[in-house]
Every structure is written in structure tokens, then in C-alpha cells.
């Protein structure tokens, strides 16, 4: 009977872990949409690239960027050089790349 309790506990833990993973993926997509919006929208982005932990974006108009909002999304740092913004993201940059690519193709 004791092993049945362990199996039940493991099953509940797996369900909770799955629900958390799904929730984070959905929230991440919302944050990607916000990030693009904070960069001035898709039409303001000329091109972009990912370099390890950084997201480098060339923009038409850098004045449209909301740096404070980007920082609140979790950016570890933001550097502006002429018409380019470098956002230091850390390990989340790899996951962001796929989401940004998908969003920009629309």
C-alpha cells in the first residue's frame, strides 16, 4: 500500500511540473511580444542577431525604444550605440532567438 502512495505523489509532482512548464512557455511568448513592442515595434527593427548572451538589434529609430520597460522584463543590461541596441539577457537569449524569429516571420 505504501508504494501506491509514492506513485500517487510522483504522478501529482509530474502534473504540477508539466503545468508550470506550459505556463512559463506561454508567459515567455507574451514577454517576447512586449520586447518587440518596447523596441518600437516590428516595423522599427531593421535586423537583429544573437551573440551568446546578447540580443543585438539595429533599429530605424532608436528614440522609440523603451529601455526602462526592457530592463523590467529582465534584461541584465542595455547598451545603445548609434542605431543599435545591445540587450544583455544571459542564458535566456537562446530561447528568445526562436521566439523572435517566429514573431518576425509573421
Rounded to whole angstroms, the Cα distance separating 76 from 56 reads 14
The predicted structure's pLDDT at residue 18: 59
pLDDT over 70 at 86, yes or no: yes
Unique residue bearing C-alpha cell 515595434: 41
Bridge partner residues of 79 (DSSP) = 86
Residue with the bigger pLDDT between 17 and 37: it is 37
29 vs 2, residue with greater confidence? 2
Q: CA 23 to CA 80: how far, in whole Å? A: 32
- The answer to whether 73 and 100 have CB atoms below 8 angstroms apart is no
- In this prediction, residues 30-43 reach a mean pLDDT of 87
Domains of the chain: 2-105 (3.30.1360.60)
**80-84: average pLDDT:** 91
Task: Identify whether the C-beta of residue 88 lies closer than 8 Å to the C-beta of residue 77.
Answer: yes
Q: What is the pTM of this model?
A: 0.68
d(CA 88, CA 76): 5
Other C-beta atoms closer than 10 Å to the C-beta of 62 total: 18
**Nine cell digits for residue 82:** 548609434
66 pLDDT more than 70: yes
- The H-assigned helical ranges of the chain are 2-38, 67-72, 93-105
Does residue 76 have a pLDDT over 70?
yes
* pLDDT, tens digit, 9 for 90 and up, residues 6-23: 777 777 777 766 555 554
Amino acid at each position: 500500500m505504501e508504494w501506491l502512495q509514492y506513485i500517487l505523489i510522483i504522478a501529482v509532482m509530474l502534473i504540477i511540473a508539466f503545468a508550470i512548464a506550459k505556463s512559463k512557455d506561454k508567459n515567455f511568448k507574451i514577454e517576447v511580444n512586449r520586447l518587440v513592442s518596447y523596441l518600437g515595434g516590428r516595423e522599427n527593427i531593421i535586423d537583429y542577431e544573437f551573440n551568446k548572451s546578447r540580443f543585438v538589434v539595429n533599429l530605424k529609430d532608436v528614440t522609440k525604444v523603451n529601455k526602462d520597460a526592457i530592463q523590467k522584463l529582465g534584461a541584465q543590461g542595455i547598451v545603445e550605440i548609434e542605431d543599435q541596441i545591445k540587450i544583455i539577457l544571459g542564458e535566456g537569449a537562446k530561447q528568445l532567438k526562436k521566439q523572435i524569429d517566429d514573431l518576425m516571420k509573421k
